[in-house]
């Protein structure tokens, strides 16, 4: 008998920041995924009134013991078999990385072909905008277990410990970073004044620029 495809895991767990105003972090990811038809379990790593780049604002980070307890509840959830992917983004503090990694392991134990997508949100051309321990946790704990990663060029440079001025150097750094599929945003472009999104998946390299 052919299995009913509607019984296949479809839900996505999204773990990132939540803003009251704006469309970044969980606000953007949840909307996009639900628009595509995926049920979403949303976990906030930090709560902000708006994007911190707009102005200084109150920052509420869940106490780490409570964050870990909530994530452990998700690991034990009777509906965990519904989950086909985990997406993590901005972390409120370094200690959250271990809880994310534990949840990813639980999801994959239940659904071995589930995907883990890591957006190592840590900085841009102006430098790191998270504490260095958080950036280190993203690089050393979450990037190695990701199936797909989506760093911008600065984030890849920071993780590689070297400037990446051209596609050749970006390619080498991406292949060394760990995840089998990498989408590097703000990548060097071939057109003057352009910017690129560079996708590598072990079989091909695709550059889209504008």
Q: What percent of the chain has pLDDT over 70?
A: 96
Please name which of 40, 36, 61, 58 lies closest in space to residue 49, comparing C-alpha atoms. Answer: 58
Per-position DSSP letters for 78-125, written without gaps between them: TTGGGEEEEEE---SSTTHHHHHHHHHHHHHHHSTT-EEEE----EET
Residues 1-28, mean pLDDT to the nearest whole number: 80
Q: What is the pTM assigned to this prediction?
A: 0.91
Please provide residue 106's backbone torsions phi and psi, each rounded to the nearest 5 degrees: -65, -40
pLDDT in tens, 127-157: 898 999 999 999 999 999 999 999 999 999 9
pLDDT of residue 158 exceeding 50, the answer is: yes
What's the token pair of residue 44? 């906030």
What's the token pair of residue 192? 């003057």
């Amino acid at each position: 008998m052919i299995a009913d495809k509607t019984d296949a895991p479809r839900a996505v767990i999204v773990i990132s920041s939540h803003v009251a105003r704006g469309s970044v972090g969980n606000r953007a990811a949840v909307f996009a995924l639900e628009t595509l038809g995926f049920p979403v379990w949303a976990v906030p790593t930090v709560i902000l009134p708006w994007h911190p780049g707009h102005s200084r604002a109150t920052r509420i980070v869940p106490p780490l013991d409570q964050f870990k307890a909530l994530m452990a509840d998700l690991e034990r959830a009777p509906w965990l078999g519904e989950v086909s992917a985990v997406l993590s983004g901005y972390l409120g503090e370094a200690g959250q990385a271990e809880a994310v990694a534990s949840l990813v392991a639980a999801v994959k134990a239940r659904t071995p072909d589930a995907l883990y997508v890591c957006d190592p949100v840590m900085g841009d051309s102006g430098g790191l905008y998270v504490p260095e321990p958080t950036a280190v946790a993203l690089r050393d704990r979450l990037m190695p277990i990701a199936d797909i990663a989506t760093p911008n060029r600065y984030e890849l440079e920071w993780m590689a410990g070297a400037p990446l001025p051209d596609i050749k150097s970006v390619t080498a750094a991406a292949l060394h970073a760990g995840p089998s599929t990498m989408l590097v945003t703000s990548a060097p472009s071939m057109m003057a004044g352009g910017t690129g999104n560079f996708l590598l998946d072990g079989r091909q390299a695709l550059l889209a620029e504008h």
